[in-house]
Chain A
Amino acid sequence: MTKVLIMNKNTEQGVLEFLKFLLENKKVKGVFSLKKIDKKGAVAYSLITNPKDLEDAVPFYPLMPVNAGNLLSRFTLNGPPKEPIAAVVKPCELRGFIELIKREQGSLENLLIISSTCGGVYPTKLEIDGTVEKNLSKYWDAVKKGQILNDIRPACKSCEEFTPYVTDITVDILGKNDLDKQCIMFLNTKKGEEIVKSIKADFSDNKIDGSKLDNIREKRGIEKKKLFEEIEKKMNGIDGLIQIFGKCISCHGCSKVCPICYCILCEFESSDSEYGPSNYETELRKRPGLRVPPGTLYYHLGRLTHMGISCVACGACDDVCPVDIPVSMIFKKVGESVQKMFDYIPGKNIEEEIPLITYKKDEFTEFEG
Chain B
Amino acid sequence: MKKDEEFMPKILAFLCNWCSYAGADLAGTSRLKYPPSILPIRVMCSSRVDPIFVIRAYLSGIDGVIVAGCHPGDCHYQEGNYYTRRRFAMLKKVFEETGLEKDRLLLSWVSASEGQKYAKVATEFTGKIKGLGENSTKNKVFL
Contact surface of A with B, Cβ cutoff 8 Å: 235-238, 240-242, 246, 267, 283, 286-291, 294-298, 301-302, 304-306, 308-309, 333-334, 337-338, 341-342, 355-357, 359-364, 367-369
Residue picked from A287, A301, A357, most chain B C-beta under 10 Å: A301
Q: How far is the CA of A369 from the CA of B127 in the complex (A)?
A: 14
Instruction: Give the residue of B52, B86, B91, B140 whose beta carbon is less than 8 angstroms from that of A242.
Output: B140
Of A238, A286, A356, which one neighbours B83 at CB under 8 angstroms?
A356
Q: Once the chains are docked, how many angstroms separate the CA of A308 from the CA of B141?
A: 26
Q: Which of B87, B99, B138 contacts A287 (CB 8 A)?
A: B138
Q: Name the B residues within 8 Å of A362 (CB-CB).
A: 72
- Complex formed: what's the CA distance from A318 to B127 in Å? 42
- Is B139 located at the chain interface by the 8 A CB criterion? yes
Q: How far is the CB of B121 from chain A (nearest CB, A)?
A: 7
The listed residue (B55, B72, B88, B96) touching A301 by CB distance below 8 A is B55
Known interface pairs A298-B59, A355-B86. Does A291 touch B142 (Cβ–Cβ under 8 Å)? yes
Kindly state the separation between the CA atoms of A235 and B100 in the bound complex, as whole angstroms.
9
Which residues of B sit under 8 angstroms from A235, Cβ to Cβ?
97-99
Report the Cα distance A289→B55, complex, angstroms. 20
Q: Are B98 and A334 in contact (CB under 8 A)?
A: yes
Contacts of B106 in A (CB 8 A): 369
Q: In the complex, what distance in Å separates the CA atom of A295 from the CA atom of B136?
A: 17
The answer to the question of B90 belonging to the interface, with a C-beta cut-off of 8 Å to chain A, is: yes
B143: shortest Cβ distance to chain A, in Å?
A: 5
Q: Which residues of A contact B55 (CB under 8 A)?
A: 298, 301-302, 305
| Complex: A337 Cα to B108 Cα, angstroms | 23
* CB<8 Å pairs between A and B, sample of 19: A237-B100, A238-B100, A238-B136, A240-B99, A241-B98, A267-B52, A288-B141, A290-B141, A291-B143, A302-B55, A305-B51, A305-B94, A308-B94, A359-B79, A361-B73, A361-B82, A363-B85, A368-B109, A369-B108
Contact of B107 among A290, A338, A369 (CB under 8 A): A369
Interface of B is mostly: helix
Task: Give the size of the chain B interface in residues (CB under 8 angstroms).
Answer: 43
Q: Specify the main secondary structure of chain A where it touches its partner.
A: helix
Determine if B39 is an interface residue (Cβ-Cβ < 8 Å).
no
Q: Indicate which residue in A287, A301, A337 contacts B141 across the interface (CB closer than 8 Å).
A: A287
Top 4 A-B residue pairs of the complex, sorted by shortest distance between their CB atoms: A359-B82, A305-B51, A237-B99, A302-B52
B141 with A291: CB separation less than 8 A: yes
Looking at A334, A356, A362, A367, the one whose CB has the most chain B CB atoms below 10 A away is A367
Q: A300: nearest residue on chain B (CB-CB)?
A: B98
Judge whether A357 and B83 touch: CB under 8 Å. yes
Contacts of B142 in A (CB 8 A): 242, 246, 291, 296
B94 in contact with A242 (CB, 8 Å):
no
Q: How far is the CA of A200 from the CA of B56 in the complex (A)?
A: 61
Q: Return chain B residues, CB-CB under 8 Å to A306.
A: 51-52
Contacts of A341 in B (CB 8 A): 89-90, 93
Q: Inside 8 A of B109's CB, which chain A residues have their CB?
A: 368
Contact residue among A241, A286, A288, A356 (Cβ-Cβ distance under 8 Å from B86) = A356
- Give the distance to chain A from B126, nearest Cβ to Cβ, in Å: 13
Least Cβ–Cβ distance between A346 and chain B, in angstroms: 14
CB distance from A203 to the nearest CB of B (A): 46
Please give the distance in Å from A176's CB to the nearest CB on chain B. 36
Cβ of B14 under 8 Å from chain A: no
Contact of A337 among B93, B100, B107 (CB under 8 A): B93
In-complex Cβ contact of B52 among A240, A305, A360 (8 A): A305
Contacts of A302 in B (CB 8 A): 51-52, 55-56
Nearest neighbor of A238 in chain B, beta-carbon distance: B137
- Mask for B103-143, Cβ within 8 A of A = 1, else 0? 00011110000000000010001000000000011111111
Complex contact B52–A286 (CB within 8 A): no
A47 CB to nearest chain B CB (Å): 37
Provided the pairs A235-B97, A308-B94 are in contact, do residues A297 and B88 lie with their beta carbons within 8 angstroms? no
